[in-house]
Amino acid sequence: MSLPLITDRTQVDVNRANAIKGKYSTGGWSSLTAAEQTVFQAGLKGSYNYTDLNRVGNALTELQALLTSRGYEVSVDVRTDWTKGEWPTKEAMAPYVQSIQDIRAALTQLEATPTAPNSMENLTWQTANSIEQILAAMYDALDRMAQTWFYAGEIYGGEQV
């Protein structure tokens, strides 16, 4: 996995992000404390922005390659080059959502994972967590799958090689 996934957002994170963004929009950069500036620059965990879109897009692309290398046919159509200040449209988010649904559907043992969203409209912190929980579950499933492979000469004890 190229980037750590965020699966532990809370309402507290959303409230903090809204407070910092509100303070920034009314008073500018200088109105933020040093701690708030650091959090703002790191990407507000309670906001879903270009860093989240790129992280999830990269994870989807990476998972698609892993699945393909293991014989699963999965199509992924996402961008990984979102920039600060860019606003995703409903049309731009449709393939993003479809890719999440397709990745989740690739392995039937992922049925216990959260449901993939149908759209990104009215995104909540719970849905944002669910998206990345699906991806984390897929990475875990693929890791467990690789651990079960048999290697020549190691299937049966006492076998002569």
Cα distances from 1 to residues 4, 75, 140, in angstroms, run 7, 19, 10
Is 154 within a domain? no
- Distances in Å between the alpha carbon of 22 and those of 14, 104, 150, 154, 156? 12, 36, 56, 61, 64
Same domain (yes/no): 41, 55: no
Half-sphere exposure of 40 (CA within 13 A, CB side): 18
Task: Let me know whether 125 and 67 are in one domain.
Answer: yes
Residues of the domain holding 135: 48-147
Same structural domain, 41 and 115: no
Q: In this structure, are 100 and 87 located in the same domain?
A: yes
Contact status, residue 20 vs residue 40, Cβ threshold 8 Å: yes
Kindly state the helix (H) or strand (E) to which residue 99 belongs, with its residue range.
Answer: helix 90-106
Q: Are residues 110 and 68 in the same domain?
A: yes
Split into its structural domains, the chain has a count of: 2
Q: pLDDT tens digits, the chain, 161 residues: what are they?
A: 556 899 999 999 999 999 999 999 999 999 999 999 998 888 888 989 899 999 999 999 999 999 999 888 999 999 999 998 898 999 999 999 999 999 988 876 666 788 889 999 999 999 999 999 999 989 988 888 877 766 555 555 555 55
